[in-house]
Amino acid sequence: MAKLCPIPCLITITFLVILAFPTSASTDKSDAQALRDLYRSLNSPPQLKEWKLNGGDPCEESWTGVLCFGSSVIHLKLHGLELTGTLGFDLSNLRSLKQLDLSSNHIHGDIPYFVLPNVTQLNLSGNNFSQSIPYSLVYMKHLRHLNLSHNTLSGPLGDVFNGLENLIEMDLSFNNFTGDLPTSFKTLTNLTRLFLQGNEFTGSVIFLANLPLSDLNIEDNHFSGLIPEKFQDIHNLWIGGNRFNNGSNYPPWNFPFDTLPNEQNITSPPSTNLSAIESYPSHKVRGHKKKGQGVAGIVLMVGGGTLIAACAALFISIRIHRSRREILKSLGSCEGSTRSSPISIVRGPYIAINI
Ligand SMILES: *[C@@H]1O[C@H](CO)[C@@H](O)[C@H](O)[C@H]1NC(C)=O
Ligand SMILES: *[C@@H]1O[C@H](CO)[C@@H](O)[C@H](O)[C@H]1NC(C)=O
Ligand SMILES: *[C@@H]1O[C@H](CO)[C@@H](O)[C@H](O)[C@H]1NC(C)=O
Ligand SMILES: *[C@@H]1O[C@H](CO)[C@@H](O)[C@H](O)[C@H]1NC(C)=O
Ligand SMILES: *[C@@H]1O[C@H](CO)[C@@H](O)[C@H](O)[C@H]1NC(C)=O
Ligand SMILES: *[C@@H]1O[C@H](CO)[C@@H](O)[C@H](O)[C@H]1NC(C)=O
Ligand SMILES: *[C@@H]1O[C@H](CO)[C@@H](O)[C@H](O)[C@H]1NC(C)=O
Ligand SMILES: *[C@@H]1O[C@H](CO)[C@@H](O)[C@H](O)[C@H]1NC(C)=O
Ligand SMILES: *[C@@H]1O[C@H](CO)[C@@H](O)[C@H](O)[C@H]1NC(C)=O
């Protein structure tokens, strides 16, 4: 590639792509409509700048919290914006969404049945959601991080976790869930961090025994029965405030608190070893990009290398075919180079790519 087109030429191509994107990247119709409908069900709050009930172009106009790739909305991040209202019923139309963060607002009502086939992060924590988890969760096979903590969710968990084998972190803490853990917990084969504390769960925790957990908090529930021997391999374990079997010979294995298994001592974590958190396989890259960034800045960053140019060339060829799906696929292969480089695909107030 470098032979056919020397580096200055590649930079020029990249530059042209950057200039070309804003004019051609109007938001996918169903994505735009889904955001308008969400705006309505959230009572059209003024803190969502640029958002509109009718018309408007979310990607083009940098609607608050919206990040697009090409014409698709891929992130929606509305953390801590004092939002009220409900979620509405059209979220499923955000078909390319990868990250949804509505945490720390005052949204109420149930979590509607919605399927975001590509979503990897779902954070609805710190709201006022009620009822239980919708069965549609089972269809979000790419989910890696789920946080529903600090709501008023209640009732038993349905068998909604089947086959979520990409899930590595789940936080259902501080709700009002009741009942036993469903058998589908057994299928969460990549789950390393699980937080269930502050609920009313009952029954056995045996389905958690074979998960690759490094962090487990099940404090302050009504779990009973045996504490699985495998739990001694969990680095950060909180299990106090339950009704586990605690006879004189129990637990029968060398648990850190086996010398005196009273509530007080069980409540505090027996081993707080931060290495467990450090080795947690998350590759977070965060950066910031302001709207209307200077062209000079872009040019400087473009100097970053031919990899960007190669990706840009790829974008061009893909855009010629005008296939949204292919563009998204190419995001995967070029994501590495977009992490800290403001290629024009990145709009909105920030970029946060979590692979
Ligand atoms: C979901 O992601 C895959 C791979 O990243 C992509 O091929 C597919 O088009 C995406 N689906 C949608 C609806 O964007
Ligand atoms: C919401 O959850 C996601 C996934 O766990 C996480 O990346 C994000 O930082 C959370 N948002 C806040 C504001 O903590
Ligand atoms: C989930 O969200 C709550 C509140 O927003 C936060 O305190 C907690 O740390 C989050 N859980 C995880 C595992 O990140
Ligand atoms: C949550 O909803 C309940 C009623 O469903 C209401 O009484 C309560 O005040 C709400 N809490 C918050 C923090 O909005
Ligand atoms: C999930 O775990 C399986 C083995 O249990 C492994 O093959 C797979 O790569 C893991 N997936 C992720 C996303 O970590
Ligand atoms: C939790 O559930 C119990 C039993 O259903 C109920 O009495 C209690 O009011 C609920 N608490 C909250 C905060 O919803
Ligand atoms: C075992 O639990 C009972 C209550 O469930 C408690 O009274 C007793 O002190 C506990 N035994 C030990 C050794 O902690
Ligand atoms: C915890 O156990 C130790 C002995 O292992 C004891 O000295 C200590 O007082 C206990 N702490 C509490 C808060 O009960
Ligand atoms: C944490 O664990 C590592 C290995 O698992 C060990 O080498 C280290 O000493 C531990 N640190 C503490 C503070 O326990």
Q: Let me know whether 247 and 157 are in one domain.
A: yes
b/e 219-230 (16+ beta carbons within 10 angstroms → b):
bbbebeeebbee
The token pair that represents 154 in the structure block: 């209640």
- φ, ψ for residue 341 (rounded to 5)? -115, 125
Q: Let me know whether 251 and 303 are in one domain.
A: no
| 237, part of any domain | yes
Longest distance between any two alpha carbons in the chain, whole Å: 78
How far apart CA 118 and CA 342 sit, in angstroms, is 23
Q: Identify the residues whose C-beta falls under 6 Å from ligand 6.
A: 152, 154, 176
Mean pLDDT of 48-74: 91
Q: Rounded to 5 degrees, what angle do the CA atoms 63, 69, 70 make?
A: 100
pLDDT at site 80? 94
Answer yes or no: is pLDDT of 169 > 60.
yes
Q: Let me know whether 340 and 354 are in one domain.
A: yes
Q: Which of 190, 210, 282 to mutate to test the pocket of ligand 5 (most atoms within 8 A of CB)?
A: 190
* Of 133-137, 256-260, 287-291, minimum mean pLDDT range: 287-291
> Amino acid identity of 223?
F
> Amino acid identity of 204?
S
Q: What is the pLDDT of residues 262-302, one digit of tens each?
A: 333 343 333 333 222 222 233 333 333 333 344 444 444 54
Q: Let me know whether 292 and 168 are in one domain.
A: no
Q: Let me know whether 243 and 145 are in one domain.
A: yes
DSSP-derived letter for residue 105 is S
Distances (CA, A) of 237 to 28, 38, 157, 231, 352: 45, 39, 22, 8, 30
pLDDT bucket at 89, cuts 50 / 70 / 90: confident
Q: Which of 152, 153, 175 to mutate to test the pocket of ligand 4 (most atoms within 8 A of CB)?
A: 152
Distance 225 CA to ligand 7 centre (A): 13
How far apart CA 349 and CA 67 sit, in angstroms, is 8
Domain boundary among 285, 313, 333: 285
pLDDT at site 24? 44
Mean pLDDT of 77-90: 92
CA dihedral 187, 190, 192, 198 (to 10 degrees): -30
Q: Which of 106, 151, 171, 175 to mutate to test the pocket of ligand 3 (most atoms within 8 A of CB)?
A: 171
Task: Return the closest-CA partner of residue 241 out of 181, 179, 204, 197.
Answer: 197
pLDDT at site 3? 55
pLDDT at site 88? 87
Domain boundary among 228, 257, 285: 285
Q: Which atom of ligand 7 is nearest to the CA of 248?
A: 13
Q: Which of 128, 175, 176, 202 to mutate to test the pocket of ligand 6 (most atoms within 8 A of CB)?
A: 176
Greater confidence (339 vs 17) lies with 17
Q: Let me know whether 305 and 268 are in one domain.
A: no
Mean pLDDT of 90-113: 93
Mean pLDDT of 162-173: 94
pLDDT bucket at 7, cuts 50 / 70 / 90: low
* Of 33-42, 161-170, 245-254, minimum mean pLDDT range: 245-254
| 73, part of any domain | no
Domain boundary among 228, 250, 285: 285
Give the 3-state secondary structure of residue 79: coil
Q: Which ligand is nearest to the CA of 264?
A: 8
| 330, part of any domain | yes
Distance 237 CA to ligand 8 centre (A): 17
Beta-bridge partners for 155:
177
Is the distance from the beta carbon of residue 187 to the nearest atom of ligand 8 less than 6 Å? no
pLDDT at site 297? 42
The token pair that represents 62 in the structure block: 């940098």
Q: Let me know whether 242 and 311 are in one domain.
A: no
Q: Let me know whether 185 and 307 are in one domain.
A: no
Distance 30 CA to ligand 7 centre (A): 58
Nearest CA to ligand 4 atom 11: 128
How far apart CA 21 and CA 300 sit, in angstroms, is 18
Q: Which ligand is nearest to the CA of 215?
A: 3
Answer yes or no: is pLDDT of 228 > 80.
yes
Q: Let me know whether 169 and 148 are in one domain.
A: yes
pLDDT at site 244? 86
Q: Is 245 exposed, middle or buried (0-12, 13-18, 19+ CB in 10 A)?
A: exposed
How far apart CA 118 and CA 137 sit, in angstroms, is 12
| 94, part of any domain | no
pLDDT at site 41? 94
Answer yes or no: is pLDDT of 37 > 60.
yes
pLDDT at site 353? 29
| 110, part of any domain | no
- Give the best-scoring range by mean pLDDT among 142-146, 251-255, 333-337: 142-146
Distance 355 CA to ligand 1 centre (A): 14
Show the domain range for 341.
Answer: 287-355
Nearest CA to ligand 4 atom 6: 128
Cis bond leading into 182, ω under 30°? no
Distance 103 CA to ligand 2 centre (A): 8
Distance of CA 219 to the CA centre of its chain: 24
Q: Let me know whether 202 and 313 are in one domain.
A: no
**Secondary element (H or E) of residue 280:** none
Distances (CA, A) of 318 to 21, 311, 321: 13, 10, 5
Greater confidence (124 vs 18) lies with 124
Q: Let me know whether 203 and 174 are in one domain.
A: yes
Q: What is the pLDDT of residues 8-35, one digit of tens each?
A: 666 655 555 544 444 445 888 999 999 9
Query: How does the average pLDDT of the chain come out, rounded?
Result: 74
Q: Let me know whether 172 and 278 are in one domain.
A: yes
